[in-house]
Amino acid sequence: MEKARILTLLRQEFDRWEALFAGLREEQFTATNLVGDWSIKDILVHLTAWQQISIARMEAARFNREPEFPEWLAGMDPFTAEMEENRDHVNARIYLAHRVQSWSSVHRAWRDGFLKFMELAEVIPEDELLDAERFSWLKGYSLLVVLQGSYEHHEEHLQSLLLALNQKRK
């Protein structure tokens, strides 16, 4: 039941992002200082990069191996990268590595990654998603927490983005 609920939430979140993109003009995607110093493209790069960690975890579970984390982590443990005192540095590294990409390539990478993440979650049995002891590399967390974290991360940024867009319209 938990698996179906979180997959439904993730699908709805994906659809909300895609609906937002469909309602915007091309220049709005790269306009800076929308949310802090970030554009919509910057936000999507950020979400895509962190989603790569989640995908690596889901792939590792699916294929019963250790996670192969993205190169941008530069060997840093994902749990260390996620710590509040490291986030600004890590997010700056992500921004610098991807700032020259076009909107279309950023959007495609985010979309493909999100869909891959959901596909992986769909094929992993629910008991494996819920078992916090199954994968030692998750350090006591379950894969369900990975799914929930991705949903919450996207939702947090979507709400900030919608608020900023509504303020710009006024």
The range of the structural domain enclosing residue 154 comes to 2-14+32-160
Domain with residue 42: its CATH number is 1.20.120
Alpha-carbon separation of residue 71 from 4, 51, 155 (angstroms): 31, 13, 25
44 in Cβ contact with 52 (< 8 Å):
no
Does 130 map to a domain?
A: yes
For residue 15, what pLDDT band results from cuts at 50, 70 and 90? very high
What pLDDT score does 53 carry?
96
Paired residues of 35 in beta bridges: 38
* 144-155 pLDDT per residue, tens: 999 999 999 999
Does 27 map to a domain?
A: no
Amino acid at 38: W
How many other CB atoms are there within 10 angstroms of residue 12's CB atom? 12
Cα-based torsion angle of the residue sequence 54, 56, 60, 63 in order, rounded to the nearest 10 degrees:
110
Lowest mean pLDDT among 36-50, 73-87, 136-150: 73-87
What pLDDT score does 170 carry?
65
Please say if the pLDDT value at position 110 is more than 70: yes
Please say if the pLDDT value at position 169 is more than 80: no
Lowest mean pLDDT among 18-27, 33-42, 48-57, 62-71: 33-42
17 in Cβ contact with 154 (< 8 Å):
yes
Looking at the structure of the chain, the number of domains it has is: 1
- CA 93 to chain centroid: 16
Please say if the pLDDT value at position 30 is more than 80: yes
Interval 87-113 mean pLDDT:
89
Interval 38-59 mean pLDDT:
95
Own/partner pairs for 136-139, CB < 8 Å, 24+ apart?
137/57, 137/60, 137/66, 137/67, 138/57, 139/79
In the block, which residue shows the tokens 């982590």? 73
Does 170 map to a domain?
A: no
Structure tokens given for 126: 């629910």
